[in-house]
């Protein structure tokens, strides 16, 4: 959350309504077509975390957002494509 606060302070007059693209904190605001390394999967839902793990989606692994469709993201993890929703994207910290 610190990031958001600081970005508001640093860029008050930049005229951008969106957050600075350099400040990617989770997959929901990640750039499309760029490889990220997962820092953490932040959720209380242990089952979800375990499930993501078995797909190879855990800290230290790479993930790429390929497109945004119907409010969901299409991501590539290992060699598969998944569609995930915004809530889940926000839980994947990169």
Residues lying near other proteins in the complex (CB under 8 A) are found at: 33, 35, 43, 45-48, 50-56, 58, 62, 64, 66-67, 69-72, 74, 76-85, 87-88, 91
Listed as own residue / partner, the contacts of 79-87 with beta carbons closer than 8 Å and 24 or more positions apart are 80/55, 82/55, 84/27, 86/28
Taking the complex as a whole, the smallest distance from the CB of residue 2 to other proteins amounts, in Å, to 24
Instruction: Between 2 and 79, name the residue whose CB sits nearer to other proteins.
Output: 79
For the CB of residue 69, give the shortest distance to other proteins in the complex, in Å. Answer: 4
DSSP state, residue 24: -
Spatial contact of 12 and 82, defined as CB atoms under 8 Å apart = no
């Amino acid at each position: 959350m610190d990031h958001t606060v600081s970005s508001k302070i640093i860029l008050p007059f930049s005229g951008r309504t969106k957050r600075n693209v350099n400040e990617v904190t989770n997959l929901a605001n990640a750039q499309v077509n760029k490889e990220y390394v997962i820092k953490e999967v932040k959720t209380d839902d242990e089952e979800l975390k375990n499930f993501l793990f078995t797909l190879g989606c855990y800290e230290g692994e790479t993930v790429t957002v390929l497109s945004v469709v119907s409010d969901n993201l299409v991501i590539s993890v290992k060699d598969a494509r998944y569609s995930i929703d915004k809530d889940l994207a926000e839980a994947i910290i990169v």
